Structure 1
Amino acid sequence: MSKHVFLTGPPGVGKTTLVQKACEALVSSGVGVEGFYTEEVREGGRRVGFDVVTLTGKRGHLSRIRDGAGVSHGRREHTVGQYVVDLPSFESLALPLFRNVGSVDGSSRKVFIIDEIGKMELFSQSFVRAVRETLDSSSCAILGTIPTPKGKPLGLVEEVRSRRDVEVFTVSKENRNTILQDILTTLQECLKRTT
């Protein structure tokens, strides 16, 4: 009885690309979509951080490589590896999307995109609460991404992975070009269970 679909797999395997392809297919079949995805930011061929991008094209910083000049501006600094997470930027872009989740296009068929639930995003307790509330809501199906387990388990990630109403697809280099139809079929089934 799945209501939500999450993709997992190693970094760079193509989870976000699959989410974007699924969004295009859903929109063209008349399904309302809302939400966000994360995108690498590169300068001179080098990854310098990540942005959060809404499906309407608004963009904000999620993280950047520490520049040595002190990015914290008096706030507590959250880091993942070499990246400093810009929590205010992330929250100001992502959190309003959750508040609007019940009113995507006024349509009854809605999919909410959460790409991704990972270490950087989990620094935001408001984000964690919003994800839990949206998972428990019956107003939409969720298509999201979560990292593969590595090191210390991430509470919300493991919670999502073990929910009975979540179908998890593992994306690999071998299946990433053929798995899209299975994801879309499962999402269509999930949509039948939302009210």
Structure 2
Amino acid sequence: MARHVFLTGPPGVGKTTLVRKAVGALEAAGVPADGFYTEEVRQAGRRVGFDVVTLSGLRGPLSRVGSDPGPGSRAPRVGQYVVDVASLERLALPMLSPVDAGDGGGTAGKRVCVIDEVGKMELCSEAFVRSVRRVLAAPRLVVLGSIPLPKGRPLGLVEEIRARRDVALFVETCQPSLPPPVQDPGDLQRGRKQCGPVARAQAGESQGPALEAGPTCSPSRGGRAGPRALT
């Protein structure tokens, strides 16, 4: 049965907005959570990059358009963005580790770990990849995260997450609405309709719990059972 919950969908559809609303509902219900999300940075209405924002309120750059990495630097690029790997690791890694130590740091003792998102920019950090794998394997943790839709060259960790039997993959195709209150992280796996216009779906025939869709959900067509989505 699925233990972790991941959202997927096209860029700009509102995955991060939905994650933030879900986190707000968890906090209102007194459910402990830790982790991070990514947020657009705009100047004069133009997107110039992304920031990493932790649930504890820390913020730093993830990437910027046309940033000069400096002489001799080999900062990775994703499209027009230069990725600040050091900033990502400084902010995100403490949220993802230690996952099983009793020292109160990171996700230790937490019940929900938010990872928004696992995408091309974040995968520029090998330390991030290792930390995500550790979190997914940690007992007593539910991961609420997001991954991009498949496009172009497969992304190793993204495909691992998509194929995991303990991951329920939900497809978002329209802007989310405010979710109702959440009582505990188990509601995420039980398919409770708390994520606005997001259809709950299995990542494959044998993965995750049975789909509980609202009356406006339309099933995917064709052979293998796949994600369902509101259109």
TM-score if structure 2 supplies the norm length? 0.73
> CA contact under 8 A between 1:80 and 1:120: conserved in structure 2?
yes
Amino acid at match of 2:162: R
Over the matched positions of the two proteins, sequence identity in percent amounts to 54
- Please state how far the C-alpha of 1:77 moved relative to its aligned partner: 2.0
Give the ranges of 4+ consecutive aligned residues of structure 1 lying more than 6 Å apart after TM superposition.
Answer: 104-107
Larger-gyration structure (1/2): 2
Please show how residues 23-102 of structure 1 align to structure 2 within 5 Å.
23-67=23-67, 70-102=68-100
Residues 33 and 111 in structure 1, CA contact (< 8 A), matched pair in contact too: yes
Q: Counterpart in 1 of 2:14?
A: 14
Deviations 1:56-115 (A, max 9, x none): 110010000114xx3244221200110000001111111111125454799966100000
Structure 2 residue runs of 5 or longer lacking an equivalent are 191-231
If asked which structure has higher relative contact order (CA below 8 Å, sep 6+), I would say: 1
Q: Contact between 2:4 and 2:166, CA under 8 Å: does it hold in 1?
A: yes
The secondary structure found in structure 2 opposite 1:119 is coil
- SS state at 2:6 partner: strand
More helix by share: 1
Paired letter, 2:81: Y
The structure with the greater share of residues assigned to strand is 1
RMSD: 2.5
Residues 38 and 117 in structure 2, CA contact (< 8 A), matched pair in contact too: yes
| Partner of residue 135, structure 1 | 136
Distance 1:190 1:108 in 2: 19
More displaced 10-residue stretch of structure 1: 106-115 or 27-36: 106-115
Residue 187 of structure 1: how far off its partner (Å): 4.0
**What letter is aligned with 2:42?**
R
Structure 1 regions of 5+ residues with no counterpart?
none
Are residues 107 and 189 of structure 1, via their aligned partners in 2, closer, same or farther at CA, if it must alter by over 3 Å? farther
Distance in 2, matches of 1:78 and 1:44, equals 26
Indicate how the Cα distance of structure 1 residues 84 and 106 shifts in structure 2: closer, same or farther if over 3 A, else same.
Answer: closer
TM-score scaled by length of structure 1: 0.86
Does the residue aligned with 2:47 lie in a helix, a strand or coil?
Answer: strand
